[in-house]
Amino acid sequence: MKHIYFDYAATSPTDPDVVKVMEPYFYEKYGNASSPHALGREAQNALEQAREVLAGFIGAKPEEIVFTSGATEANNQAIFGVARANANKGRHLVISAVEHHSVHEPADFLETQGFKVTYVPADENGVIHPQVVADAITNETILIAIMHASNEIGTIQPVVKIAEIAKGKNIPFLVDAVQTVGHIPVNVKELGADLLSLSAHKFYGPKGIGALYIRKGTKLGSYLLGGDQERGRRASTQNIPGAVGLAKAVALCQENMIEEMKTQQTYRDRLLAEIPQKISGVKINGHLHQRLPNNAHFSFQGVEGESLLMNLDMNGICASMGSACTSGAMEASRVLKAIGLEDDLAYGALRITLGRWSTEEHIERLLEVLPSAVEGLRL
The answer to the question of residue 7 lying near ligand PMP (CB under 6 A) is no
Number of residues located near ligand PMP, criterion CB under 6 A: 13
The answer to the question of residue 210 lying near ligand PMP (CB under 6 A) is yes
CB 250 within 8 A of CB 182: yes
The nearer residue to ligand PMP, 44 or 179, going by C-beta atoms, is 179
Q: Which stretch binds ligand PMP (CB under 6 A): 88-96, 138-146, 175-183, 304-312?
A: 175-183
As a whole number of angstroms, the distance between CA 156 and CA 74 comes to 20
Q: Which stretch binds ligand PMP (CB under 6 A): 174-182, 220-228, 251-259, 262-270?
A: 174-182
Q: Mask of contacts with ligand PMP, 74-113, x by CB under 6 A?
A: --------------------------x-x-----------
Q: Would you state the torsion angle of the CA atoms of residues 266, 271, 274, 277, taken in this order, to the nearest 10 degrees?
A: -150
CB 279 within 8 A of CB 271: no
The answer to the question of residue 147 lying near ligand PMP (CB under 6 A) is yes
Strands (DSSP E) along the chain, which ranges? 4-5, 65-68, 92-96, 116-120, 141-145, 173-176, 195-199, 210-214, 282-284, 295-300, 317-318, 349-353
The nearer residue to ligand PMP, 157 or 179, going by C-beta atoms, is 179
Question: Sign of the C-alpha dihedral, residues 317, 320, 321, 327?
Answer: positive
Give buried/exposed letters for 63-94 (b at 16+ CB in 10 A, else e): ebbbbbbbbbbbbbbbbbbbbebbeeebbbbb
- In this chain, which of 72, 96, 118, 141 binds ligand PMP, going by CB under 6 A? 72
The answer to the question of residue 176 lying near ligand PMP (CB under 6 A) is yes
The answer to the question of residue 199 lying near ligand PMP (CB under 6 A) is yes
The nearer residue to ligand PMP, 211 or 345, going by C-beta atoms, is 211
Enumerate the active-site residues. 325
Summarize as ranges the residues that interact with ligand PMP (CB under 6 A): 70-72, 100, 102, 147, 151, 176, 178-179, 199, 201, 210
